[in-house]
Structures are given as structure tokens and as C-alpha cells.
Amino acid sequence: MKRGTASVRVGLVAGVVSLCLVAVLLTMGGVPGTQAAPTKVLYVGITLPLTGADAEDAELIKDGALLAIEEANAKGGVAGYRIEPIILDNGTATAGQYDPAQAAVNARKLVANLGVVANIGPQMSGSGKAMAPILSEGDLATITPSSTNPDITDPKFAAQYRPKGKAIYFRTVTTDAYQGPNMANFYAEKLHVKSVYILDDSGAYGVGMANAFEKRAQQKGIKVLGHDQLNPKEADYTTILTKIKGMNPDAIYYGGVAQAGTKLAKQAYDVIPKVIKGGGDGVVGGSFLKGAGFPAAEGWYGTIAAPHITENPAAQPLVKRFVKRWGKQPDDYSFTAYDAALVIFDAIKRVVASGKPVNRHTVRDAIQTTHLQTIQGEISFDQNGDLKNKVISVFQIRFNKEYPPDDPLHQYHYIGVAPQE
Amino acid sequence: MTFRDILLQQVINGLSLGAMYSLLALGFTMVYGIIELINFAHFNVFMVGSFIAMWVLEALGLSGQSRILTGWPLASVLAVAFGITMLACGVLGIVIERTALRPMRHVPGTAAMITTIGVSYILFNIILLSTGAITLNYPNPMPSMAWHIGKAVLRLREVLLWGVSLGLMVILHLFVRRTKLGKAMRATAQDQEAARMMGVEVDHVIMLTFFIGSALAGAAGLIFGLYYNFTSFLIGYTAGLRAFTAAVLGGIGNIVGAMVGGLIIGLIESVGGQLLQVRWTDVIIFSILIAVLVFRPTGLLGLSAPQKS
């Protein structure tokens, strides 16, 4: 017993001493030259699947958000506050890609930390569905730069995804309620597809996309020959592709992310090389290019749920800053993430200007009333958190041998905006 | 394509899958036959094998599917890749046995099996952390030669897959049946104690079993890469589980049973996917497994064939 108390005491003393040391070091570090830097700190979460098959694209999103934060801090912070990112990994090795269970854990962590005023992420809708109810309970707003499943913000599912009523899931992209159907319009009107076979990867995002595509395809008079589900952990898709070959469709449409998508692309190239192939934003990005490789990736169509930014002349200074800071090319979701950070900063500024205390509740309310001009156009949200501006951009992979085969900026050829009803 | 062509194509696909499952199932069944241990590390020895083979192919100057070889260069590149991969995986198998499983051998209960699960996760995480998590494009020097049978297509890679698998299985069968070491293996499988009394070095035999099983997993890993043109740290799980099912279906411990079981699982997967939907694949496979085990608890070909000879 005695020994126990003694060691506890020693531990306490050591703890206090080290705390003092840290405090002294901090104040010393704070004095010279950095007086202008704000000492008040606000935390912004960044939750992305940085482990697993989605990591490549998640990194680009993270880099976009971090760039915005670094630039804001370099200019003296946001309304007197320094912004500190808290980066949490939504992916796990066991899942091999984004893991909704881990996303839920991360959401709880963020809610528990009262310094966090808002979050950027998640990348994936499956994670979003797990995070939304927790964030709603905590009244903590998140802005997703890429997750597009419409259910999360649909008032029909409000009891499930925002039990507290207020919108907490905002997007700087539009949803699959437009991405899937507009691609079906593109298939019918521009590619003149008469028959299609639909596949999804059994994830929340993939199933939603594929279903939305299917519905519109039927309305447009495209014959849907079938709709089957791929297991993303499975290696072999030749069975389903052989079956599709037997039906002889004009096109296939794939709703899902890169993990199943890359394998599908490889094997589809062998089995049904001449069939038109396309998907959503799951097949747009470096992960898809790197995994599928050329020639298998050649000719695939993909969409993103945002305007095409990286080749927009007005965005070039921003692209240059990104390349200079990170040494790699951004993709469009790097900039929807950049915009997500700007929306949060703008909200903080307006809260400070109004004289209210800056916390997650006031910041959420301010995000709701955003009217911000960014590189993608005006950002403002409806009462569910969805972006009012709805643009779906279509791309096709065309190998450009002057650039590395996994460079998304140069291997995706921008076709245009998908037709909207 | 007529329905007959499609069915023929699915049989070709299924036999290819089945050949790979068979090679993998052999490792499970051999180890089980000798020390009655289900070795879950085998899943990921297969996965590591596909990575080792990828590094060998890259060291030989291949990348992606851009450089195509034919004739002798192709044969020698493949021979070197198979040789190094099988050797490296065999040694990995011995290391696993020696460091993790031998100390567990006399511990009763499921401790050894749980240890193999742990080893499996260690291998999985080593590859994940050292190569990253994305799906990797596989270097493949094989020309895209193909033969047409009606509208069905038989590609060179399928022929190679069948040839290599069949060759390795015949060699294994002859080894176990005709050589002295094979006899020692069969003796150990029947009764370790008696075998030891007869002068069989039981420890060596067990090591040899792990070596052969793991080397076959390595070969399967290379074949996997050449067949699908990709690899990732995740491939061990699904293929391993199917192969394990194949071993149980054929009768675990029975070498011929593993080969037959693998082919049956492969065919069920492809033909079942054709007739129903692919999302039901696992349901079909495991329903058939359960049905077989209910009526023949020892699997299709019965337990441990070595005991009968």
C-alpha cells in the first residue's frame, strides 16, 4: 500500500513539473515574432478514409481542406481565431476501404471535443449515414466535399439521420439524386444507348446511384437488362461479365467505389471490350486509374457531382498553389473540400461579427444561411443542407501519354455538363 | 452467344477459379492431415506470395501489361518467378511453423488455431503498411492469345493456370505416394507416436508439410496475379475462405478431396452466378457445403485418405 501511494505521489509531482515545463516552453515559444498570430484556437475536424482503397482520393480531399486552413492561418486566422485541424481516419485495414463503424467512432470523438466547431467530411456516403445521427445529437455541422447519397439529407429520412431536426449534413457537391439520373440522360441523349446492364458494389453510395440511374434509364426508354450486385472483396467478376456478354447490351453502368470498380474495369476489358462503360464519381480519381491501369481504364465514362474546377481558367492560381504546397495535382473534390473550409470560415466570421459566442451551435446556424461566392460558383444550402446549385460533370478516360497514367487531371477528358431534365 | 456457348464459357471460368482454389486448399488439407490444425495463416501466405511474385516480375523489368513476351523468354521469366515465389513462401511457411506454431503444438484446445489467425493478421498488416492499401496493377508478360470454341473464348492464361495447377498436383500426389519422405508424411498423419518410434523425424516432416503447403499457396498467388492482372492486401480473405470450404467439402485431410473440392466450388461459383445472381454466390456455396456435411460429415471423399493405405 505504502509503495502504491509513494509512486502515485512521484507520478503526480512528475506530472505537475512536466505541465509547468510545457507551459513555460509554450509561452517562451509564443513571445518572439509571433505576436500577430491569434492565440485563440478553434478546431475543425477532417474525417476521411485515409487507410484502404479510397486513400488516394481521400488524401487529395484532405490536402484541399488543409490548404484552405493553412492559407487562412497565414493571413492571421479567421476573425481572430487560429484554425486547428483534427484529422481522423475513417478507413480501417479490416474493411480495406472506408469503414462506417470507424466513422461513427470518429463522429463521437468530435462531438465529445467541445473545441470543435465544425467538421469537413466524410468522403463516403456509407460513413455519412453512420455519422449523421451522432452529429445531429451533438448539433455539430459537417460539410461533405464528396458524399452524394441523397438519403442522408432527404427529409423523408430525417428521423434516422437528423433526429434533432436541424440540418447538420451540408454538401459542397450535389447528390446522386442528380448524378445517377443525369448520367442516364447522358447515356440516352448523347451516347444513344438502347440497352444497359447495371451493377453496384452493395455499398450505400453504390446502391443509391445504381437505383437512381435505373429509374431514369427506364423513363428514358433504355432497356434495363438486369441489375446485380458485386461483392467488393471478391476477386472474380468474370462470371457476371460473361453473363452480361451473353445479353449483348450497348452499355453497362456501375454504381460504386474504386475497390470493386478497378477489378470490374480490368475484367470487363477482357470479356466485353466493346461495350460502353460508365459510372459515377467512384470511377473518377487516381485510385481508379492506378488500380485499373491502361488499357483497361480506357474509354470509361465517369461523373462528378460538382462543376469541373481544375481546368477552369479562373481556378488556375488556386491549382498552382495546391501543386506548390503538395507537389501533386488536385482533383475537383480537392476544391469542393477547399470550399467546405471556406464555408466554415465564412460562418465563423459572421458569428463573430454578430457578437454571438463562437461555438458549434452558432456556427451551424451560420452555415445554414451561407451565401458565399467561391471558385465553383455561389454556395448556399436549402433547409436540408443540400447545395442549391446542381451541376453534374461528365468525363471520359482517354490515355494521354504525355502525363503519368495515374494522373487524374490529365487522363480524364472533360466532356461537359450532363443533361438535366 | 447461345446459351450453350455461355455455359461453356462459365465452365471455363469456373475451372480456372477451381484450379486456384484447389492449389490453396491443398495447403489447408495437408497441414490438417498431419497435425489436425486449421491453419488460417495460409490465407495470407497466398496473398504475400502474390506480392513476392509481383516484386520478382518487376525486378525482371516488367511493369503493367505493356511488355509482352513469347516463347522461351516468357517460359524462363515464368519459371524464375514461380521458383523464387514458391521457395520464398515455403520458407515463410517454415518460419511460421517454427516460431509460432511449434511452441503451441502440445497446448490442448484451440490455442494453436487462434495463433494462426494472429499470424494471418500480422502478415496482412505488414503488407498493408508496406505497400499501401490500393489495388495494384500486376506486371504480366503473357500475350493475349486466345482460342475460340464456338463463341466461347479460351485464353492462354487459363491454359497456363490449368497446366501449372495440374502439374503441381500430380507432382505432389506422386511425392506423397511414391517417395520415402512422402511415406514418412503418411506415417506421421496416421500416428505421430508410432512414426517417431519407427525413426521418422516428425519435426522435419511437419516442417516439410508447411513448406510444401505454403509453396503451393505462393504458386497460387502468382497465378492469381497473372490471371486477374491485379493484387491487393485483401485477396487472401475471400479466396482463402473458399479454398478452406473446398478442403472441407472434399474431406479435410484428403489431398485428392481438396483438388476435387476446389473444382466443385469454382464451378458452383460460375455456373451458379450465371443461373441465379452473383450476389447469391456465397449463399449457394455455403448451402451446398452444409448440405454435403449433413449427409456426409467427413466430406465428399472422406477423411484423411492416407490412413486407408
The whole-number pLDDT of residue B110 equals 85
Q: Dump pLDDT digits (tens) for B170-195.
A: 898 888 888 888 888 888 888 888 88
Chosen for mutation from A238, A252, A259, A411 (greatest number of chain B CBs closer than 10 Å) is A238
- Indicate the burial class of A6 (C-beta count within 10 angstroms; 0-12, 13-18, 19 or more): exposed
Q: Decide if A135 contacts A122 (C-beta within 8 A).
A: no
Query: Any idea which of A32-41, A312-321, B236-245 has the lowest mean pLDDT?
Result: A32-41
Q: Dump pLDDT digits (tens) for B66-90.
A: 677 777 888 888 899 999 999 999 9
Question: pLDDT grade, residue A257 (50/70/90)?
Answer: confident
* Cα–Cα nearest to A189, from A219, A212, A228: A219
Asked if the model's pLDDT at residue A6 lies above 60, the reply is no
Query: Any idea which of A15-29, A79-93, A173-187, B47-61 has the lowest mean pLDDT?
Result: A15-29
CA distance A356 to B3: 71
The whole-number pLDDT of residue A130 equals 94
DSSP letters of A286-299? HHHHHHH-TTTTTT
Most confident of A7-11, A50-54, A302-306, B33-37: A302-306
Chain B: give the shortest CA distance to residue A196, in Å: 16
Question: pLDDT grade, residue A16 (50/70/90)?
Answer: low
Query: Any idea which of A228-232, A340-344, B149-153, B164-168 has the lowest mean pLDDT?
Result: B149-153
Work out the average pLDDT over B149-165. Answer: 85
Q: Dump pLDDT digits (tens) for A122-146.
A: 999 899 999 999 999 999 999 999 9
> Which residues on chain A are in Cβ contact (under 8 Å) with B155?
270
Hey, are the CB atoms on A266 and B278 less than 8 Å from each other?
A: no
Neighbours of A62 (CB within 10 A): 24
| Partner residue facing A240 (CB), from B124, B233, B273 | B273
Strands A169-171 and A195-200: unpaired
The CA–CA distances, whole Å, from A174 to A153, A340, B181, B261 equal 11, 13, 67, 49
pTM: 0.76
Q: How many Cβ pairs closer than 8 A exist between chain A and B? A: 116
Mean pLDDT score across all residues of chain A: 87
Asked if the model's pLDDT at residue A380 lies above 60, the reply is yes
> Which residues on chain A are in Cβ contact (under 8 Å) with B234?
96, 233
> Which residues on chain B are in Cβ contact (under 8 Å) with A235?
224, 228, 235, 238-239
Asked if the model's pLDDT at residue A37 lies above 60, the reply is no
Q: What's the distance, Cα to Cα, between the start and end of chain A in Å?
A: 77
CA distance A118 to A112: 12
User: Grid coordinates 505432389 are at which residue?
Assistant: B172
- Quick check: B126 contacting A, CB < 8 Å? no
Q: Note the ipTM here.
A: 0.78
Hey, are the CB atoms on B238 and A91 less than 8 Å from each other?
A: no
* CA angle centred on A244, ends A242 and A248, rounded to 5°: 115
> Which residues on chain B are in Cβ contact (under 8 Å) with A98?
none
Mean pLDDT score across all residues of chain B: 86
Q: Which chain B residues in 2-41 lie under 8 Å from chain A, judged by CB atoms? A: 3, 5-6, 9-10, 13-14, 17
Work out the average pLDDT over A208-225. Answer: 92
Q: Decide if A97 contacts A326 (C-beta within 8 A).
A: no
Sheet with A169-171, edge to edge strand ranges: A81-89, A40-48, A116-120, A141-144, A169-171
Asked if the model's pLDDT at residue A150 lies above 60, the reply is yes
List of residues 6+ apart from A63 with CB closer than 8 A: A322, A325, A326, A328, A330, A334
Cβ-based interface (< 8 Å): residues of A facing B = 51-53, 55-56, 91, 93, 96-97, 202, 228-231, 233-240, 242-243, 245-246, 248, 258-259, 262-263, 266-267, 270, 287, 290-296
More confident residue, A324 or A38: A324
Hey, are the CB atoms on B278 and A239 less than 8 Å from each other?
A: yes
Radius of gyration of chain A (CA): 23
C-alpha cell at A347: 460562418
> Which residues on chain B are in Cβ contact (under 8 Å) with A240?
273, 278
Phi, psi of B191 (to 5 degrees): -160, 105
Chain A: give the shortest CA distance to residue B196, in Å: 42
Most distant CA pair in chain A: distance in Å? 85
- Quick check: B279 contacting A, CB < 8 Å? yes
| Partner residue facing B134 (CB), from A266, A291, A294 | A291
Instruction: Give A373's strand partners.
Output: A378
The whole-number pLDDT of residue B303 equals 59
Hey, are the CB atoms on B134 and A267 less than 8 Å from each other?
A: no
Q: Dump pLDDT digits (tens) for B254-283.
A: 888 888 999 999 998 888 888 887 778 888
Chosen for mutation from B58, B134, B156, B226 (greatest number of chain A CBs closer than 10 Å) is B134
- Quick check: B224 contacting A, CB < 8 Å? yes
CA distance A27 to B282: 62
User: Grid coordinates 513571445 are at which residue?
Assistant: A31
Hey, are the CB atoms on B228 and A235 less than 8 Å from each other?
A: yes
Q: Decide if A304 contacts A78 (C-beta within 8 A).
A: no
Residue type, A106: N
Q: Decide if A99 contacts A91 (C-beta within 8 A).
A: yes
Chain A: give the shortest CA distance to residue B95, in Å: 24
| Helix pair angle (B202-228, B71-96), 10° resolution | 140
> Which residues on chain B are in Cβ contact (under 8 Å) with A291?
134-137, 230, 232
The whole-number pLDDT of residue A34 equals 43
The whole-number pLDDT of residue A198 equals 95
C-alpha cell at A192: 444513344
Radius of gyration of chain B (CA): 19
The whole-number pLDDT of residue B284 equals 85
Asked if the model's pLDDT at residue A40 lies above 80, the reply is yes
Chain B: give the shortest CA distance to residue A377, in Å: 33
| Partner residue facing B274 (CB), from A234, A243, A292 | A243
- Quick check: B274 contacting A, CB < 8 Å? yes
The whole-number pLDDT of residue A354 equals 93
In three-state secondary structure terms, A402 is coil
Query: What region, left, alpha or beta, does residue A61 occupy, with left being phi > 0 and alpha being psi -120 to 50 degrees?
Result: alpha
